[in-house]
Structure 1
Amino acid sequence: MSVGISGMLVVVGLIFGFGSMVCCVNATKFDELFQPSWAFDHFDYEGELLKLKLDRNSGAGFGSKSKYMFGKVTIQIKLVEGDSAGTVTAFYMSSDGPNHNEFDFEFLGNTTGEPYSVQTNIYVNGVGNREQRLSLWFDPTKDFHSYAIVWSPKHVVFLVDDTPIRVHTNMEKHGLPFPKDQPMGVYSSIWNADDWATQGGRIKTDWNHAPFIASYKGFGINACECSVSVTAAENVKKCTSNGSNRFWWDEPTLQELNVHQSHQLVWVRARHMFYDYCTDTARFPVKPAECEHHRH
């Protein structure tokens, strides 16, 4: 169920433990926040339920009407049922340009009876190759589940049903860049990626099972809306706490996971993660610099 504004405040407060806050945008309706970006005829939107369709002709996607800097974006998705091999359903944030920043959820379909994989990735200044993959502790095709990205000047947190599955910490003190100066849009799409998505591309999309349907509800953006008519520096200033405005993502208690969240992340990594770029010595004979410093 999509929560209202007051419900959103309560939910975020329970998760992250803050009291008062200031925020620029706090909305939950699809048409308030998003618009179709391609393949309009592959959309089905009734009430608070949105469905995206993938067939031989096209996939489909939507994007936010505005761009944001810092905050939380949430969406509830029920993934493609049955044989979904070759398909990818994505939920992500991204800025524009060749040196863009990006935070990705990519849900990789599979053959009937085999579990979905969830791949996360982070691009900083146009450079990605930071993939992690995990299995979920539930069947994401049977019901709606919540997927969220929390972005602050201190870290990026990926959440599944409020359980953290990945944390990317600001490590500028070690000379590493961190995405905090480019406004980002919020996007989702479904497309055919059978050249790589399922078992490294060995399993191809079976179009006899088309159309493939991803269903959405529970849209939420609680973030600082940015203006396209001002500089990036002005947007950074606008979205950073100061004497007159205090944003929830700058609260001291939110600068790192609490004890319970840290235990949840350890559990996810131990029980459900099966690929981490930091440990892939074939791809990275020299361990990536952030892996040397990152605690998660």
Structure 2
Amino acid sequence: MDYFLYSPLQKRLSPLFLLLFLIIVTTTTTTLKTTLAFNVTTLMTFGESYSPLFSEFNIQRSQDDKTVRLLLNRFSGSGIISSDYYNYGFFSANIKMPSEHTAGIVVAFYTSNVDTFEKNHDELDIEFLGNIKGKPWRFQTNMYGNGSVSRGREERYRMWFDPSLDSHRYSILWTPKNTIFYVDEVPIREVIRHEAMRGDYPSKPMSVYATIWDASSWATNGGKEKVDYKYEPFVTEFKDLVLEGCIVDPTDQILSSNCTDQIAQLISKDYTTITPEGRKSMKWFREKYMYYSYCYDNLRYLVPPPECVIVPSEREMFKDTGRLRDKMKFAGSHRRHRRGRKSRRRNRNSGGEAAVAM
């Protein structure tokens, strides 16, 4: 058959085929655009981007220096810190959690400037809480601005997958306008900067941290389940590191105006705006897996903080304590513990960190 000769029937069908072709191309382009939303540079090596924070003997680097394994054993935990401070940015890593019995363990991926601004530091946290074998991992996000430790803005969730089986991407987007926490490409939380927040919204340059440590005193069932070192070492793996932002000297009194263009470029990225599809995914996640939100904790905040957007479907889920009405919905403790945050410098020497509010 000569494919360059068209019958009358083929000529009549050609517009239909052309239309179908255009639909396929358009659909493919849209899908590709969604996929490329996280098409960030992941070629950084550990030596280019991070340095040891504490217990270097428990940090293992791959031969190509693109994967870092942080260990917790009976001697110490371990941690790393970005080599630079950033004035806003997008920070991300593919992380695989420890397996087996992980009660009492905390793995953290976060931004902070506590070592430069000890009394008025900023911080954005993603903290993963281990559990007894067979129970799901839990995690929480938090925001502190200008030393507002007593006004932490924590939310707590249950994992919808086993994070110890495969690596998953965890990301923190931080701009002058909003902060978004992502798990893979699912936006799980957005904080939009409100004028009334004032210094409670993080605005000073921060470094990026990753740590693993023993939090037996509070992390699992209110401290009833301790780290069982029979299963040591506990290993968490970080790879595909992303540090996108304007590098600055945090001691400068006036931050360089050179960041203006880079911040504008950051804000223009696809992942700084949650799409309608992303809103649906976030709604699904929050209504199914969130088990505490400070926005609904009327005992702690008689008036919800200014950035809180009260969602009726979420409001129905929680009691005035900000905890679920249905206690049996999720496994694990809902008790709250406070984090001591005097200085991480001291904890570097001891191989651990202070506890996060639970």
1:1-296 residue pairs with structure 2 within 5 A?
A: 14-15=36-37, 28-46=44-62, 47=64, 48-96=66-114, 97=117, 98-128=119-149, 129-172=152-195, 174=196, 176-179=198-201, 181-228=203-250, 230-231=252-253, 233-235=254-256, 237-241=257-261, 247-251=264-268, 256-282=273-299, 284-290=300-306, 292-293=308-309
| Cα distance between partner residues in 1 of 2:191 and 2:308 | 13
Moved more, 106-115 or 250-259: 250-259
Give the whole-Å Cα distance in 2 for the aligned partners of 1:57 and 1:214. 16
Identity, % of aligned positions = 32
Runs of 5+ consecutive residues of structure 2 not aligned to the other structure: 1-31, 315-358
Return 189-198 or 120-129, whichever deviates more.
Answer: 120-129
Alpha-carbon distance between aligned partners in 2 of 1:148 and 1:239, rounded to the nearest angstrom: 21
The residue matched to 2:199 in structure 1 has which SS? coil
In the superposition, relative to structure 1, how do residues 75 and 11 fare at CA in structure 2: closer, same or farther (>3 Å)?
A: farther
CA shift, 1:253, in A, is 6.8
Instruction: Measure how far apart 1:200 and its partner are.
Output: 2.0
Query: How many Å apart are 1:179 and its aligned residue?
Result: 3.4
- The structure number with the bigger radius of gyration is 2
Alpha-carbon offset, residue 45 of structure 1: 1.0
Provide the C-alpha distance between the structure 2 equivalents of 1:77 and 1:27, rounded to a whole number of angstroms: 15
C-alpha change, 1:11 and 1:247, in structure 2 (3 Å) is farther
Aligned Cα root-mean-square deviation (Å): 2.7
Q: State the Cα deviation string for residues 139-173 of structure 1 (Å, max 9, x = none).
A: 1000110001111111011000011111111001x
More deviation in 50-59 or 221-230?
221-230
Query: Normalising to structure 1: TM-score of the pair?
Result: 0.84
Relative to the length of structure 2, the TM-score reads: 0.70
Which secondary structure does the structure 2 equivalent of 1:147 belong to?
strand
For 2:344, the equivalent position in structure 1 comes to: none
Shift of 1:208: 1.4
What's the CA shift string for 1:72-129, capped at 9, x where partnerless? 1111111010100000000000113221110001000001111100111111111142
Offset at residue 54 of structure 1 (A): 0.7
Verify the 8 A CA contact 1:62 1:187 in the aligned structure 2: yes
Measured in 1, the distance between the counterparts of 2:251 and 2:293 equals 39
Count residues in correspondence. Answer: 274
- Give the 3 Å change call, closer, same or farther, for CA 198–95 of structure 1 in structure 2: same
Could you tell me how far 1:177 is from its partner in structure 2?
3.4
* Structure 1: runs of 5+ lacking an equivalent: 1-9, 18-22
Residues 176, 290 of structure 1: 8 Å contact kept: no
**Number of the residue aligned with 1:6:** none
Q: Per residue, is there more helix in 1 or in 2? A: 2
Equivalent AA in structure 1 for residue 107 of structure 2: T
